[in-house]
Amino acid sequence: MRKDRSRWLIALLAAVTLLGAACGGGGDEEEDAGGSGSATETETGSEVEEFPANTTMGKIQQKGELIAGVKYDVPPFGFIDPQTDEVKGFDVDVAQEIADRLGVELNAIEAISDNRIPFLKDGTVDIVASTMTITTDRDVEIDFSEPYYIANGRILVAEGTDDVETLEDLSGKSACTALGSTYEGLLKAVKGVDVQLPETYGECLELIQNGSVQAVVTDDVILTGMIIQDDTLRLVGEELTVEPYGIGVPEGDTEMKEFVDGVLQELYDDGTYDEIYQEWVGQYTDTETEIPDM
Ligand code: GLU
């Protein structure tokens, strides 16, 4: 599994490098330094607030690390850089900013769609930053920050699939999404679709590439990451859903939720969010930074 990921991620990294060059992303090195792996700015400024020991923030400070559940196979939001073996991406940078403001290291472990809520509930992770849509069902089990990114559901097809525009067009065909994603229910509700539910999106990519499924259905940013790796794939049809991403925190932990919301507000105000957005989304899609309403 790990080897398979490395193979396609090497292809991705090559594509990302090419795209970066094509888009004239000259400021990338600087942005990298402020992203995953470097927490110096806030730390050297010694502006880190010390939180009471009985708060979640205080406990994280005591143990010296923020454990965040992120994706490992979903560029550009969370993926392993095969050259350095580091976890990178939009979600990873947001989690890094939260760790920086607590003055602790980030420990970004893999949280797939199906285990991110169990991981929060059993304390495996402190937060989840894993392309996770805020839904009312999930909100019963955990708490969410305010939205920090708005994705949209779309359909991805391979070359030669010319008769798919809507979910209903998938009837009589096989379609893939990740187990535990918002699209699991959406696809199962469409009559006649053979729904494939692997644990990861990397597996969905393999299934559409080897012809086992005719479509992948999930967030546009995840599908765009697949197209960066394989430009024979393409998006079809309209936006299916609106998917506001939230940082997951343990249920009922209002202080932690408010702390994370405060960090997000700072990122919007000081321009850091704009840098993260442009580095991971804007330069590939040619879009201006969109800050979700808090
Ligand atoms: N944003 C959707 C969700 O939270 C799809 C992406 C994912 O599976 O992480 O279910």
Q: Is the CB of 115 inside a 6 Å radius of any atom of ligand 1?
A: no
Residue nearest to atom 4 of ligand 1 (CA): 132
- Determine the 3-state secondary structure of 127 from DSSP: strand
Joined together, the tokens standing for residue 204 give: 């969905």
* pLDDT over threshold 80, residue 15: no
Strand-pair partners of 250: 142
Q: Average pLDDT of the chain?
A: 87
**Is this model's pTM higher than 0.95 or not?**
no
Instruction: Give 46's pLDDT tier (boundaries 50, 70, 90).
Output: low
pLDDT grade, residue 45 (50/70/90)? low
Q: Which residues 6+ apart lie within 8 Å of 174 measured at CB?
A: 193, 194, 195, 196, 207, 212, 213, 214, 215
Ligand 1 center to residue 219 CA distance, Å?
Answer: 7
Confidence of residue 47 (pLDDT cuts 50, 70, 90): confident
Q: Residue 70 burial (CB < 10 Å; 0-12/13-18/19+)?
A: buried
If one residue of 91, 181, 239 were mutated to test the ligand 1 pocket, choosing by the most ligand atoms within 8 A of its CB, it would be: 181
**Token pair of 106 as six digits:** 């980030």
Q: Which atom of ligand 1 is nearest to the CA of 178?
A: 8
Ligand 1 contact via 161 beta carbon (within 6 Å): no
Where does the pLDDT of residue 293 fall: very low under 50, low under 70, confident under 90, or very high at 90 and above?
confident
Helices 2-22/201-209 angle, 10° precision: 80
| Strand extents, DSSP E, the chain | 65-70, 73-74, 78-81, 86-88, 105-110, 127-128, 142-144, 149-157, 174-176, 194-196, 215-219, 234-236, 242-245, 248-250
- Over residues 51-69, the pLDDT tens digits come to 999 999 999 999 999 999 9
Residues 6+ apart with CB under 8 A from 14: none
Ligand 1 mutation target, pool 115, 136, 222, 241, most atoms within 8 A of CB: 222
Does 150 score more than 90 pLDDT? yes
Interval between CA 103 and ligand 1 midpoint (Å):
29
Percent of the chain with pLDDT over 90: 80
